[in-house]
Structure 1
Amino acid sequence: MIEASTDSPAATSGASRRATLAIFALAIGGFAIGTGEFVSMGLLPNIADGVGISIPQGGHVISAYALGVMIGAPLIAAFGARLPRKRLLWWLMAAFVLGNLASALAPGYSSLLIARFLSGLPHGAFFGIGALVGASLVPPNRRAWAVSMMLTGLTVANVVGVPLTTLVGQRWGWRWPYGLVGVLGMLTLAAVLLWIPSRPAEQGLTMRTELSALRHRQVWLALLTGTVGFGGMFATYSYITPTMTSLAKVSPTAVTGLLAVYGLGMTVGVVLGGRLADRSLMPSLYGGLIGTAVVLFGFGYAVRTKPGAVLAVFVFGVAGSVLVPILQTRLMDVAREGQSLAAALNHSTLNLANALGAWIGGLVLDQGLGYEWPSRVGGVLALAGLAIALFSGRLDAVAARRAAVAAEQGWPHARFTPAGAGPAGGQE
């Protein structure tokens, strides 16, 4: 009896179908997490009224979630190094479900803060581990595509999930959206069980090997690129509502529609970023940061008319999101043995960029400058991120030349390897 070749069209088609379902399961999780993260912003007045606090105090509910993301991503990725990735993803989503159900049932402000903090803990680790799982299921030249497909769940949440749950919260109370996010998390649990392949834990991975990612200079440069470069986006996005009402002269109600346009731009940007990163990673990073700077410098001028505002907000969404799968893939490349930690840290970086951008944008406005100025300062931050990325690329080029010289001269162990060489790449 002749066994079917694993390279047969049928086997290849079956593997592709299983990979697609697994990535779809991860995207469902991204949709749940994205909805849970951003719905608090749309319901902030309702939440404040519901637990008897001021709106500024209500902002701490959002900050508590972001703090959970920043703390949870590196800790969980490091402590979970020895667990099979499917099991770890399931437990992360189970914790997310419990956090959101606790948010829905929170009797007061203090308990709500704790519940939102707990809800944020699994966020970064889920995306980081999910990125590694998705990338492992496809050929090397499609890794960034797999990462981008998982991230589309997060961007589609801004188009569909957040507006719908916001409407539910406005009509039936702020607790219901958190409950609905919990239901979305339960669907993700089922999808992970059914569609994520079971594989043993990676041999030799420990907390120590994960933490070894922090020894590599290129990991820190990639994280710094994201923090500074994305800081420019958040310097603008944090004040998007008053910018639109004061410069574009749109009503507060119409801003909701503009945010949906932004979500569409994010979805396009994530998909585009995945395709570009698979073709040429570092040039795509440079181009993405240049494009972001151009968009931010022109944003204050473009939004002075309603048609210009719609177009500017869409392009703004594209420009920022292009960078997400590119940086995620870059971190996976340069981390060597500590890929889980590095991939999870990307989402801690985004939340740090959020805090940095909002703070810098606020400083600009406190100086009495108009709402067109946060985006201009954001453009400067994008250029600073570009400078860091170019320095990182220069180090890659130096490492590649040294490796080539070592190979020519027959040295048995070349220390330097180009970071873009693959998952084992990196630089001391």
Structure 2
Amino acid sequence: MGEVRDANPASSRDRTQGQAGMPSVVYLLGLTIFALTTSEFMVAGMMPALSAAFAVSVAEIGYLISLYALGMAIGGPLVTALLLRLNAPNKPALLVLLGLYVMGGVLAALAPGYGVMAIARIVTGAASSACFGVALAIAADLVTPQERGRAASIMLGGLMLAPVFGLPVTTAIEQGFGWRSSFWSVAVLAILAAALVAVFVPVSKSHIENGLSTELDALRRGRLWAAYATSGLIIGATFAAFSYAVPLFIDMAKLSPATIPTLLAAYGGANVVGNLVVGRFADRHTIPILLGGLTALALALMTFAVFAANSYLAVSAFLVIGIVGVPMNPAMVARVMRIAHPGPLVNTVHTSAITAGLALGAWAGGVGINAGYGLTAPLWVGFALALFGLLSLCTSPRPIDERLARSEARCGDERTMARRLPINRMRC
């Protein structure tokens, strides 16, 4: 009667995925994240030009970064919830969000004044946060549960590379062709990413089966919010130090301003290396990585604060922060995905928590300086946040959750599990 073929190609792909390696689409999603985060950082490289163009102070241009973060923290979950309410599959949802992002980028490039630019930053921030959530959901759907941390690390490699390559390139474009050209270049990059997504990313309906009500139920879990808190505290501790590192190195460590670009590039390189290493082990050793990383982060922040005037120790501590701070993202994502179904809203709220932590760390560090505690105050703030991060790990998954995670790894992803007999589905 001839060869019997698998009636479900997706099922066949699920069974062979672990052997075939990481799907190339995950790398494409990393390019998308690179485009989004380049826009987030680029304002920092063109503050004088934007200040002159809009006739406002540099501090007011700095608010554009805060407005982007505000759009991410609040607008992202709202946009994602709306798409879930409309039952939009992941791929069309990502294309809609990239389209919204491009519209915001074009509005920024054409902005006649500060007010329009502020609106554009809020729009692009909201679209960016929602894109993160949907892209992580797509990546989680493409790989087996035991590979989700690694897939997240590849995607988030775009985040690590944005300040290393994206920011210098957009700054160079601004200096050579004007600030509007920088915004146009990022909009074009986002259009390219959208075109590649349209052609190569497969359509998945898995999150329709786990729609808005399912994700809202997941958001009622206390342990999920404890995981969100850990992520926010890690990033808050990191950015409390990073936000004020430059004046600290110049004024206390007495480094030449000419050495700062090289130092920041080395920090970016440390981010990339740390992300690659953590991504390899995040799935199997999630909690140990978070525990060890937070301990190293706290010790590095304390060392930086105590020996800030010693250039060698200060630079060494700064690079350790670069290795163990932001690069813990894959483990943070793996922990969240272990506690709840990795849907777009769960992931987007996670992004919002991280953004809130970033804002908290930078703000609290500034409060410490303004209160008269000196440039090392942000480092002590970061140290305190890292300690609170360690406390938040007390709500790590219980043994039954660990068994569930191992069972999921054996059974494959949720789509394969859903096709099994009810008794097996309960066991898995």
**The TM-score by the shorter chain falls in which range?**
0.7 to 0.9
Question: What is the identity percentage for the equivalent residue pairs of Structure 1 and Structure 2?
Answer: 35
Instruction: Please report how far the alpha carbon of residue 20 of structure 1 lies from its aligned counterpart in structure 2 after TM superposition.
Output: 2.9
2:347 maps to what in 1?
343
Instruction: Write the distance in 2 (CA, Å) between the matches of 1:16 and 1:116.
Output: 40
- 2:238–2:325 Cα contact (<8 Å) kept: yes
- 1:327–1:346 Cα contact (<8 Å) kept: no
Verify: 1:312 aligned to 2:317, yes or no. Answer: yes
AA matched with 2:3: I
Verify: 1:218 aligned to 2:223, yes or no. Answer: yes
AA matched with 1:74: P
**Secondary structure of the equivalent of 1:278?**
coil
**Secondary structure of the equivalent of 1:215?**
coil
- 1:213–1:339 Cα contact (<8 Å) kept: no
Query: Please, which of 141, 144, 152 is the counterpart of residue 136 of structure 1?
Result: 141
1:407 maps to what in 2?
none
Q: In the TM superposition, what are the counterparts of 1:11-410 in structure 2 within 5 Å?
A: 12=16, 16=20, 20-81=23-84, 82-200=87-205, 202-301=207-306, 304-336=309-341, 339-390=343-394, 392-393=395-396, 396-397=398-399
- 2:71–2:126 Cα contact (<8 Å) kept: yes
- 1:168–1:176 Cα contact (<8 Å) kept: yes
Instruction: Write the distance in 1 (CA, Å) between the matches of 2:65 and 2:12.
Output: 51
Instruction: Please report how far the alpha carbon of residue 14 of structure 1 lies from its aligned counterpart in structure 2 after TM superposition.
Output: 11
After superposition, give the CA deviation of every residue in 1:151-205 in whole Å (9 maximum; x if it has no partner).
0011111111111111221232222111111111011012111221123353433
**Secondary structure of the equivalent of 2:210?**
coil
Q: 1:325 to 1:400 in 2, by over 3 A?
A: closer
Instruction: Please report how far the alpha carbon of residue 146 of structure 1 lies from its aligned counterpart in structure 2 after TM superposition.
Output: 0.4
Instruction: Please report how far the alpha carbon of residue 227 of structure 1 lies from its aligned counterpart in structure 2 after TM superposition.
Output: 2.1
Instruction: Write the distance in 2 (CA, Å) between the matches of 1:400 and 1:110.
Output: 49
Instruction: Please report how far the alpha carbon of residue 145 of structure 1 lies from its aligned counterpart in structure 2 after TM superposition.
Output: 0.3
**Secondary structure of the equivalent of 1:249?**
coil
Q: 1:202 to 1:377 in 2, by over 3 A?
A: closer
- 2:207–2:343 Cα contact (<8 Å) kept: no
RMSD after superposition: 2.7
Q: 1:15 to 1:51 in 2, by over 3 A?
A: farther
AA matched with 2:352: S
- 2:67–2:122 Cα contact (<8 Å) kept: yes
- 2:300–2:318 Cα contact (<8 Å) kept: no
TM-score by length of 2: 0.86
- 1:302–1:312 Cα contact (<8 Å) kept: no
After superposition, give the CA deviation of every residue in 1:324-380 in whole Å (9 maximum; x if it has no partner).
1111121122124x7321211121112111221112111221232232332122112
1:413 maps to what in 2?
none
Instruction: Please report how far the alpha carbon of residue 23 of structure 1 lies from its aligned counterpart in structure 2 after TM superposition.
Output: 0.7
**Secondary structure of the equivalent of 2:150?**
helix
Any stretches of 5+ residues in structure 1 without a counterpart?
Answer: 402-416
Q: 1:40 to 1:289 in 2, by over 3 A?
A: same
**Secondary structure of the equivalent of 1:279?**
coil
- Report the number of matched residues: 403
Instruction: Write the distance in 2 (CA, Å) between the matches of 1:89 and 1:340.
Output: 10
- 1:235–1:360 Cα contact (<8 Å) kept: yes
Instruction: Write the distance in 2 (CA, Å) between the matches of 1:261 and 1:39.
Output: 19
After superposition, give the CA deviation of every residue in 1:31-89 in whole Å (9 maximum; x if it has no partner).
10111000111211211111110111111111111111011221122222221111111
**Secondary structure of the equivalent of 1:28?**
helix
AA matched with 1:259: L
Instruction: Write the distance in 2 (CA, Å) between the matches of 1:420 and 1:3.
Output: 32
Instruction: Please report how far the alpha carbon of residue 303 of structure 1 lies from its aligned counterpart in structure 2 after TM superposition.
Output: 5.3
TM-score by length of 1: 0.86
1:411 maps to what in 2?
none
AA matched with 2:54: V
Instruction: Write the distance in 1 (CA, Å) between the matches of 2:255 and 2:101.
Output: 36
**Secondary structure of the equivalent of 1:367?**
helix
2:3 maps to what in 1?
2
Instruction: Write the distance in 2 (CA, Å) between the matches of 1:420 and 1:122.
Output: 34
AA matched with 2:371: Q
**Greater displacement, 171-180 / 380-389:** 171-180
